[in-house]
Amino acid sequence: MATSREYIDYVMECLSHIEGIDTRRMFGEYALYMFNRVMGFVCDDQVLLKVLPGSTRVLGEDAPTGEAYPGSKQYYIIEDLEDSDKMALLFRSLFEDVPEPKPKRPRRGKIA
């Protein structure tokens, strides 16, 4: 089951108070970004965030986890998107642990 456009709109509405949040379609689902850093994914109408020290501090080690896709590593399953204070703290804490994306190498032009 793919993520619905309505669910993405709901996620973005819940997280609208957090600066820098964005989504991009990726592999039929969505990647969740904060200032161009991948924080997690939205798959099958479910928000999944990376398991890193910052997210563990906020959610606790017993927080539910799941796979973004079969065979992927574990991600925290986020169920309380409407708790704006908790979401702000969670994303800011997680942001500190997610590295800057590597610069993309320029594409080579075709040789005629």
Compute φ and ψ for 13, nearest 5 degrees: -65, -45
Mean pLDDT of 2-30: 94
User: Residue 95 has what pLDDT?
Assistant: 96
Q: DSSP for 38-104?
A: EEEEEETTEEEEE--HHHHHHH-TTS-EEESSTTPPEEEEE--TT-HHHHHHHHHHHHHHSPPPPPP
What pTM was estimated for this model as a whole? 0.86
Single out the residue of 97, 96, 60 nearest to residue 80, CA to CA. 60
Mean pLDDT of 87-97: 96
Domains parsed from the chain with CATH numbers: 5-97 (3.30.1460)
- Tens digits of residue pLDDT in 42-86: 999 999 999 999 999 999 999 999 998 889 999 999 999 999 999
